Chains A and B, each alone.
Chain A
Amino acid sequence: MAQKTVSALILSPGAAAGPVFRDSNASASCGENVLANRKDIPEAERDAERELLFDALDRAAADLLRLAERVRSELGSVLGTDKAEIFKGHADILQDDDFRNDMARLVADGYSAQCAALAVAESNALDMEALDDEYFRERSSDFRELGRKVADCASAIRFGSSGASGSAACLCGPVPPVPSIVVAEELSPARTVQYHVPNVLGFIVSKGGANSHAAILSRSLGIPAAVVPIGDLALFQSGAMAAINADPDTATAEPDEEAVSRARSAALAASLRKERLAKLRDFPAATSCGHRIGLFANVGGMKDLPAAAAEKADGIGLFRTEFLFMEETSFPDEQKQAAFYRQALETLRGKPVIFRLLDIGGDKPLPYDPQPPEANPFLGVRGIRYLLARPELLASQIRALLLASAASGQTVRIMVPMVCLPSEMKAVREIAAAEERRTGGHAAIGMMVETPAVAMSVRAYSGLSEFISIGTNDLTQYSLAVDREHDRLAGIYDEFHPGVLSLMAKACADARHSGMETGVCGEFASRPEAAVLLAAMGFDELSMRASAIASVKEAIRSCTMREAGALLERALAESEAEGARTLARAFLAERGLGG
């Protein structure tokens, strides 16, 4: 058969190539689940069947607790000790009276122990699938796995594999004898951690979502995992070669030599780079001459907070509060908002968190607060203009932020979006001062710099703004008068445009002169070649998605401020964006970075 490449959903990123090892799931390792469909156990045997069921439940639970202990002791440093909780939780469910009694009731009606276990597990899985939340829906596969595990243990007991070896047969399927790509219909969490052996290069499966426990675990283990359409799984035959490719997201059955070596070198490069970046996590972002830059994380929802903490972000440079409002059917009350804000402050443990006030515009109105149509929403009622037209809403958000400040004993940093006039900052400060007195909280108030006019007049905000943060996306759009997503004008939007770079540099210099803290929170800050220029301009902090922090840190650490300054000077003298970008990339390439 010739090489065949299929598109894949990547559960755990990375590349790999190797021979296929088919995992036909744990049940096969215990032999067929004999009696799995029997519902006609004679009455005289039902008591014994119930005993068998309870033995199987106990044995499966004990296995899971042993596995939890092993995960904690052997893999805790790789996975984080909390992952063991998954297996403890599963053991807990197997010991749950309702769960056991539901099964026992079926056995009393004549079901075999295996059949009862599978049926009750399935009914619980369906309950989970009915919940309106992706996280919970993906727990349904855990229940099915638990049912299979109990059924396997019941088979093992029934057919006499005894004691420890019997338990082992229930949990541990065969492991690949040589480094392989494991192909299975579905991976259970338990199988995933058992595969933490050097012989597993990657997983190709046909079921599973990004939030499944198996996906979470394979990401923690750094093993690439891809989901392929179920019909394509048969392409991956035992013993034949397979490859998982990172870019684009595909899996290849029987790859040719070139495809194998491409996947292997991508895997090698990725693992070397990952090792390098992981080592940087505990080092500060400082230039080689010792100049410290804060690397902050952008947060678009509570789900982003753990990554920010894991990447050791120096703070949150942009906490978008929109998600709190978008998913509601009316404006969320102060207590509800305050609970989220407080959680963010406490997750970051005293590091600065910059909350941006609700940034809504005519292009994306709240469903419960429709706005009259505008000819040009980007030049209309958005950001602080929207909020000042709703003083109650503005005051309530500021109050919620200050309540979180009072409750956590930390200062909240409040960032005002789309400021164009000093009067707008004055209005916000007045509200904040009043709310500070009411709540006992404390706020530092700053502004986004998103328009050329504000970038040129930052000094006018002296005393009104304690910090600035450049929103590079809007600043670039407004400076170059081009929509970032315009399908026929690609190439005009470019932050490296010398005019745009000059605006950023000017805003930063003037803000520093006025004693304001300076930051950047647009997309631009997440690119290593841009970060070097921004550091040279004198920004105190750069904020980006958490996953970009390590590579930006690597760039910052590769040079001195003097070198970065010389680069900036040359970049600003270029006449076109392309020239400036090429210079910045070459600068990193000289230091062995980028590519």
Chain B
Amino acid sequence: MVEKNITIANPSGLHTRPAKRIVDVARAFASEITFIKEGRDGSAKNLLKLMKLGITLGNTITVRCEGEDESAALESISAALASLSE
């Protein structure tokens, strides 16, 4: 298992469009990918769960990846979060 804390820096947070982008990236990996915000967690492969975490600008979340391709998954998810600009 690998994990990393990431601060959300895109203005509108992970609502529909940005979250959908993250979900698409997450689904390319075999690993379980979990976002944890203030003790609540949700799979990054599930748009509904991700949106319900209500992740917004300035939130620090933990991204946890577990599985055969966990390192690559963590790296891709981190990059995808950093590239959100909207």
Complex Cα gap A327–B19 (Å): 23
A327 — which chain B residues lie within 8 A by C-beta? 58
Task: Give chain B interface residues in 24-57, CB to chain A under 8 Å.
Answer: 46-49, 51-52, 54, 56-57
Q: State the interface size on chain B (CB cutoff 8 A).
A: 27
Contact with A along B12-29 (1 / 0, CB 8 A): 110111011101000000
B82 — which chain A residues lie within 8 A by C-beta? 343, 346
Stretch of A218-226, A334-342, A472-480, A544-552 contacting B (4+ beta carbons < 8 Å):
A334-342
With contact pairs A89-B20, A92-B23 given, residues A136 and B54 touching in the complex (Cβ less than 8 Å): yes
Task: Give chain A interface residues in 52-104, CB to chain B under 8 Å.
Answer: 82-83, 85-86, 88-90, 92-93, 96, 98-99
Does B62 sit at the interface, judged by CB under 8 A? no
Cβ of A547 to closest chain B Cβ, rounded Å: 16
Does A301 sit at the interface, judged by CB under 8 A? yes
Task: Give chain A interface residues in 110-166, CB to chain B under 8 Å.
Answer: 124, 127-128, 131-133, 135-136, 139, 142
Task: Give chain A interface residues in 312-368, CB to chain B under 8 Å.
Answer: 327, 335-336, 339-340, 342-343, 346-347
A136 — which chain B residues lie within 8 A by C-beta? 13, 15, 51, 54, 56
Does B76 sit at the interface, judged by CB under 8 A? no
With contact pairs A128-B51, A133-B54, A306-B85 given, residues A85 and B7 touching in the complex (Cβ less than 8 Å): no
Q: Main SS of chain A's interface residues?
A: helix
Do A139 and B11 touch across chains, with their CB atoms under 8 A apart?
A: no
Complex Cα gap A302–B58 (Å): 10
B10 — which chain A residues lie within 8 A by C-beta? 302, 343
From A99, A133, A343, give the contact of B56 (CB < 8 A): A133
A304 — which chain B residues lie within 8 A by C-beta? 11
Complex Cα gap A213–B15 (Å): 11
Does A486 sit at the interface, judged by CB under 8 A? no
| A303 (CB) vs chain B CBs: closest residue | B11
With contact pairs A86-B16, A89-B16 given, residues A96 and B51 touching in the complex (Cβ less than 8 Å): no
Cβ of B29 to closest chain A Cβ, rounded Å: 17
Complex Cα gap A127–B17 (Å): 18
Do B54 and A131 touch across chains, with their CB atoms under 8 A apart?
A: yes
B57 — which chain A residues lie within 8 A by C-beta? 302-303
B17 — which chain A residues lie within 8 A by C-beta? 82-83, 85-86, 89
| A133 (CB) vs chain B CBs: closest residue | B56
Do B13 and A135 touch across chains, with their CB atoms under 8 A apart?
A: yes
Does A305 sit at the interface, judged by CB under 8 A? yes
Complex Cα gap A139–B19 (Å): 12
Do B48 and A340 touch across chains, with their CB atoms under 8 A apart?
A: no
A336 — which chain B residues lie within 8 A by C-beta? 7, 58, 60
| A139 (CB) vs chain B CBs: closest residue | B15
Does A309 sit at the interface, judged by CB under 8 A? yes
B51 — which chain A residues lie within 8 A by C-beta? 128, 136, 139
Do B20 and A88 touch across chains, with their CB atoms under 8 A apart?
A: yes
From B13, B20, B52, give the contact of A127 (CB < 8 A): B52
From B13, B23, B86, give the contact of A133 (CB < 8 A): B13
Cβ of B80 to closest chain A Cβ, rounded Å: 13
Cβ of B77 to closest chain A Cβ, rounded Å: 15
Do A135 and B48 touch across chains, with their CB atoms under 8 A apart?
A: no
Complex Cα gap A278–B12 (Å): 25
With contact pairs A92-B23, A305-B85, A343-B10 given, residues A213 and B16 touching in the complex (Cβ less than 8 Å): yes
Do B9 and A340 touch across chains, with their CB atoms under 8 A apart?
A: yes
Complex Cα gap A136–B51 (Å): 8
Cβ of B82 to closest chain A Cβ, rounded Å: 8
Do B9 and A306 touch across chains, with their CB atoms under 8 A apart?
A: no
A339 — which chain B residues lie within 8 A by C-beta? 7, 9
Complex Cα gap A342–B83 (Å): 11
B12 — which chain A residues lie within 8 A by C-beta? 135, 211, 303
A306 — which chain B residues lie within 8 A by C-beta? 11, 85-86
B47 — which chain A residues lie within 8 A by C-beta? 89, 92-93, 96
From A88, A92, A135, A303, give the contact of B15 (CB < 8 A): A135
From B11, B20, B23, give the contact of A302 (CB < 8 A): B11
Complex Cα gap A127–B49 (Å): 11
Do A132 and B58 touch across chains, with their CB atoms under 8 A apart?
A: no
With contact pairs A96-B47, A305-B85, A336-B60 given, residues A132 and B16 touching in the complex (Cβ less than 8 Å): no
A128 — which chain B residues lie within 8 A by C-beta? 51-52
B15 — which chain A residues lie within 8 A by C-beta? 135-136, 139
Cβ of A92 to closest chain B Cβ, rounded Å: 5
Do A96 and B46 touch across chains, with their CB atoms under 8 A apart?
A: yes
Do B54 and A82 touch across chains, with their CB atoms under 8 A apart?
A: no
Do A98 and B48 touch across chains, with their CB atoms under 8 A apart?
A: yes
Contact with B along A274-301 (1 / 0, CB 8 A): 0000000000000000000000000001
Complex Cα gap A131–B40 (Å): 13
A to B CB contacts below 8 Å, 20 in the list: A82-B86, A83-B17, A85-B17, A85-B20, A85-B21, A86-B16, A89-B47, A90-B16, A92-B47, A96-B46, A124-B48, A133-B56, A139-B16, A305-B85, A306-B85, A306-B86, A340-B9, A343-B10, A346-B82, A347-B85
- 10 new A-B contacts, CB < 8 A, other than A83-B17, A131-B54, A303-B12, are A85-B21, A89-B20, A98-B46, A98-B48, A133-B56, A136-B51, A211-B12, A305-B11, A336-B7, A336-B58
